């Protein structure tokens, strides 16, 4: 027996919200893959903690993708078991997200330390490995910074040791040999540059997370209402 009246409206709302969840899942998977590739390309990661955030994004995206499948199919077919599965799984992922947010806040300093160590290693190994050189060059160009703590860091490592020069990627306007001109380089360190960037965008990330949490709560409420409507139809039959 198909649901009628207000329950039909709830059914379509649930289907619509699950479509949004499905899109969000794909977006999180794509974002996680992009961040992971970017980290591997720019930083010499010596600690698995640094790869944690993008992996979490990918996992959460995959989970949301499959959960939305149960919600869409359950709502379209008015299948009590699928809608119930959707509500339970969505409730679990909501609790996991809260736990992840708390863990991220508690261990935020540890994650920052990992990035600091990675940048320091990239500076000290700049003339040793191509990965360190390419990674540090990319960071300096992206964040408009120079060295780990300041441009003077390069004075301690070859091939710039004692020369007063820096990599050309430290320059405000990059041309060959520009690192020899101290008036054309950034002096702020990349550790501070990345910290400032993270602080700038943490509010946006938190806002997006709260928005997703809000839609998840609505999804759970609508699923419960539809479950009740479907169950009532079974009882009438």
The mean pLDDT values, 10 residues at a time, for the chain of 237 residues are: 60 79 80 70 50 70 80 79 85 81 71 78 87 86 90 88 88 88 87 80 71 80 82 51
pLDDT reported for residue 167: 92
pLDDT reported for residue 6: 63
pLDDT reported for residue 237: 33
Q: Measured in whole angstroms, how far is the alpha carbon of residue 108 from the centre of its chain?
A: 14
In which residue ranges of the chain is CATH 1.10.1450.10 found? 128-191
CB-CB contact of 193 with 143 (8 Å)? yes
Say which CATH topology domain 128-191 has: Cd81 Antigen, Extracellular Domain; Chain: A (1.10.1450)
- Helix extents (H) in the chain: 6-42, 52-77, 80-106, 108-124, 130-143, 190-236
| Tokens at 23, concatenated | 């899109």
pLDDT reported for residue 186: 92
């Amino acid at each position: 027996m198909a649901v009628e009246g207000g329950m039909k409206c709830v059914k379509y709302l649930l289907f619509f919200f699950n479509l949004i969840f499905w899109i969000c899942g794909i977006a999180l998977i794509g974002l996680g893959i992009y961040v992971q590739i970017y980290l591997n390309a720019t930083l010499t990661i010596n600690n698995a903690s640094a790869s944690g955030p993008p992996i979490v994004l990918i996992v959460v995206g995959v989970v949301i993708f499959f959960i939305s499948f149960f919600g869409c199919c359950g709502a379209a077919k008015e299948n009590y078991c699928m809608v119930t599965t959707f509500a339970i799984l969505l409730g679990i992922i909501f609790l996991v997200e809260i736990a992840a947010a708390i863990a991220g806040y508690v261990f935020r300093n540890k994650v920052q330390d990992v990035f600091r160590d990675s940048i320091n290693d990239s500076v000290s190994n700049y003339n040793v490995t191509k990965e360190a050189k390419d990674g540090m060059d990319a960071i300096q160009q992206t964040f408009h910074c120079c060295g780990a703590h300041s441009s003077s860091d390069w004075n301690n490592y070859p091939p710039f040791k004692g020369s007063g020069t820096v990599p050309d990627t430290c320059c405000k306007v990059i041309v060959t040999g520009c690192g020899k001109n101290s008036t054309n380089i950034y002096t702020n360190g990349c550790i501070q540059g990345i910290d400032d960037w993270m602080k700038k965008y943490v509010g946006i990330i938190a806002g997006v997370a709260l928005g997703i949490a809000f839609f998840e709560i609505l999804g759970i409420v609508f699923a419960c209402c539809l479950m009740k409507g479907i169950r009532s139809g079974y009882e009438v039959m």
